[in-house]
């Protein structure tokens, strides 16, 4: 950036923050919003309230009250951010990401703190955990929502709730329940994605997967190795209930599995022993380029009927993808998707790309924590933590918009892979029988890498995700840079 561009950022920031003005009833908190965001965008070594306030010539207590005490509409600020993303950064092939992040904390008075798994440290630690939604459209990515996970011991302790300012309407919710609520809220604010992706913690819960299906959303998520189901649809019979039959009259019928069905098996056993997988050849895909060379994964896939509920009945047909690292065969991942690859509207390679598409939210966390001070909050209250996260998301959205504008000016835009193209730069090594992952008209350089794949004029969208909820925004842009999540050019 040159000097003029840097000077222009101040005007752009003021114009950007004015879009959130109606979230504040008075001019004083509007000025504090600008002070807070400017502090997070500054080069201060720590982005907590005191250094940001002193750098702006404001007393620290004033900025502390802005986060914890002053009346302003935090949920509306979050919704306004989602409206902006939905209106100005929409893309038919955008990807939504569900993830969580832990922040180590000392003591026992911060809302939601307890000894639990902390992703930052990679072990159990005293921390608070937030559930977050990420949004990826090409190389534009940002955080959409954040909610603090409240452990059950906190939810059932009135004294600690009162001390931390936890509202009465907040009850214990599992992390998948929080994520589903966030997704429903984002859909209501106009966010549309081609598919959602998540790690195996969220893929473990049947309620989460069923909730996504009820919301009409596509997903490609990792599931644990002990997920159970069938590769062939089992036969379900309708048996009459014995009690009604003894009483006379029409017997009530209950669905149950036929005895001739094979028992449901874990996906790790199906991948090794099932004839469906044993007859397949591994298809090799370059997922990304690392410092040591291309990272190649081998893939097989098959229809899968997930075992559901207490009755153990099969769910609707999904796609089970088994992927193993080419260099480390013991590293195996299992992905489940409610999309069926047909080689035309949805390719196996696109499903695999979505499944490995979680790195942008990790980069969001890295930028938000190292550059914007997302984990530098020093408040203990429920309201203060949520407000700090939402303000950090505003700062990050501004950074993402500036980065995108610079890429457009420098002609660095890339296409976004759609569901029928090759998102891995067109490289599919020794694809076996099954879905054709690379279309035959790809242009390949002599150096072994493929030319960038341009999006179709009317890129197809997988069913359900975009049509199930009417859009609430009237304008959107159709061209965004191609993601650099999983490969480098």
Q: What is the DSSP string of 89-138?
A: S--TT-EEEEEEEEEE--SS-STT-EEEEETTTTEEEEEEEEEEEEEEET
Instruction: Give the C-alpha separation, 462 to 30, whole Å.
Output: 41
Nearest C-alpha neighbor of 264 from the set 304, 324, 210, 217: 304
Please state, in angstroms and as integers, the Cα–Cα distance from residue 344 to each residue in 348, 430, 436, following that order.
10, 20, 9
Instruction: Give the C-alpha separation, 392 to 148, whole Å.
Output: 14
CA atoms within 13 A on the CB side of 345: 7
Angle, CA 97 vertex, CA 94 and CA 98 arms, to 5°: 155
Residue 290 has pLDDT above 50, yes or no: yes
**Which residues are registered as beta bridge partners of 294?**
289
Burial of 383 (0-12, 13-18, 19+ CB in 10 A): middle
Average per-residue pLDDT for the chain: 81
Q: What is the DSSP letter of 85?
A: H
Instruction: Give the C-alpha separation, 96 to 361, whole Å.
Output: 9
Please state, in angstroms and as integers, the Cα–Cα distance from residue 298 to each residue in 70, 122, 292, 322, 351, following that order.
55, 27, 18, 8, 14
Count of beta carbons in the 10 Å neighbourhood of residue 87: 17
Residues 43-70: tens digit of each pLDDT: 898 999 999 999 999 999 999 999 999 9
Instruction: Give the C-alpha separation, 474 to 479, whole Å.
Output: 16
pLDDT at 247: 55
Instruction: Give the C-alpha separation, 146 to 133, whole Å.
Output: 7
Sequence-ordered list of residues with C-beta below 8 angstroms from that of 396, at least 6 positions apart, any chain: 142, 143, 364, 367, 368, 372
The DSSP element (H or E) to which 414 belongs, if any, is: none
Residue range 411-439: mean pLDDT, rounded: 46
pLDDT at 452: 32
Residues 131-161: tens digit of each pLDDT: 999 999 988 999 999 999 999 999 999 999 9
Q: Is 277 left (phi over 0), alpha (psi -120 to 50) or beta?
A: alpha
For residue 455, name the pLDDT band (cuts at 50, 70, 90). very low
Instruction: Give the C-alpha separation, 80 to 57, whole Å.
Output: 29
Query: In 439-467, which positions are buried (b, 16+ CB within 10 angstroms) versus exposed (e)?
Result: eeeeeeeeeebbeebebeeebebbebbbe
Residue 459 has pLDDT above 80, yes or no: no
Q: Judge contact between 328 and 215, C-beta under 8 A.
A: no
Phi, psi of 441 (to 5 degrees): -95, 20
Higher-confidence position of 463 and 457:
463
Residue range 111-136: mean pLDDT, rounded: 91
Residue range 178-202: mean pLDDT, rounded: 96
Higher-confidence position of 452 and 267:
267
Residue range 228-242: mean pLDDT, rounded: 76
pTM given for the model: 0.82
């Amino acid at each position: 950036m040159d000097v003029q561009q840097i000077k222009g950022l101040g005007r752009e920031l003021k114009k950007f923050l004015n879009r959130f003005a109606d979230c504040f009833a008075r001019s004083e908190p509007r000025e504090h919003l600008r002070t807070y965001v400017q502090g997070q965008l500054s080069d201060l070594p720590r982005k907590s309230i005191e250094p940001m306030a002193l750098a702006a010539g404001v007393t620290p207590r004033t900025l502390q009250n802005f986060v914890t005490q002053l009346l302003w509409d935090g949920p509306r600020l979050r919704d306004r951010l989602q409206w902006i993303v939905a209106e100005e950064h929409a893309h038919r092939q955008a990807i939504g990401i569900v993830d969580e992040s832990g922040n180590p904390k000392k003591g026992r008075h911060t809302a939601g703190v307890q000894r639990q798994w902390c992703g930052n440290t990679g072990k159990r630690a005293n921390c608070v955990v937030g559930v977050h939604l990420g949004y990826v459209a090409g190389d534009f990515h940002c955080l959409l929502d954040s909610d603090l996970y409240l452990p059950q011991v906190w939810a059932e302790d009135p004294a600690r709730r009162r001390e931390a300012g936890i509202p009465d309407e907040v009850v214990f919710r599992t992390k998948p329940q929080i994520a589903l609520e966030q997704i429903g809220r984002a859909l209501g604010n106009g966010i549309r994605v081609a598919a959602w992706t998540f790690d195996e913690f969220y893929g473990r819960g049947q309620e989460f997967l069923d909730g996504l299906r009820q919301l009409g959303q596509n997903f490609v998520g990792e599931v644990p190795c002990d997920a159970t189901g069938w590769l062939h649809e089992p036969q379900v019979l309708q048996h009459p209930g014995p009690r009604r039959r003894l009483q006379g009259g029409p017997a009530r019928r209950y669905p149950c599995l036929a005895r001739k069905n094979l028992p449901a098996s874990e996906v790790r056993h199906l991948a090794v022993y099932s004839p469906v997988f044993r007859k397949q050849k591994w298809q090799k895909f370059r997922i990304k380029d690392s410092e040591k060379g291309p990272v190649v994964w081998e893939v097989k896939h098959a229809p899968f009927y997930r075992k559901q509920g207490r009755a153990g009945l099969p769910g609707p047909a999904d796609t089970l993808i088994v992927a193993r690292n080419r260099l480390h065969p013991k590293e195996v991942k299992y992905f489940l998707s409610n999309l069926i690859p047909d080689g035309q509207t949805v390719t196996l390679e696109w499903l695999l790309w979505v499944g490995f598409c979680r790195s942008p939210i990790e980069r969001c966390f890295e930028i938000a924590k190292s550059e914007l001070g997302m984990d530098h909050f020093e408040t203990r209250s429920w309201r203060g933590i949520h407000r700090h996260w939402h303000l950090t998301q505003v700062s990050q959205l501004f950074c993402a918009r500036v980065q995108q504008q610079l890429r457009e000016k420098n002609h660095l835009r890339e296409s976004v892979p759609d569901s029928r193209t090759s998102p891995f730069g067109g490289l599919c090594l020794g694809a076996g029988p099954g879905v054709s992952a690379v279309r035959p008209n790809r242009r390949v350089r002599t150096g072994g890498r493929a030319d960038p794949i341009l999006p179709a004029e009317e890129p197809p969208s997988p069913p359900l995700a975009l049509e199930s909820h009417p859009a609430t925004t009237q304008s959107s842009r159709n061209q965004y840079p191609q993601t650099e999540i999983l490969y480098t050019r």
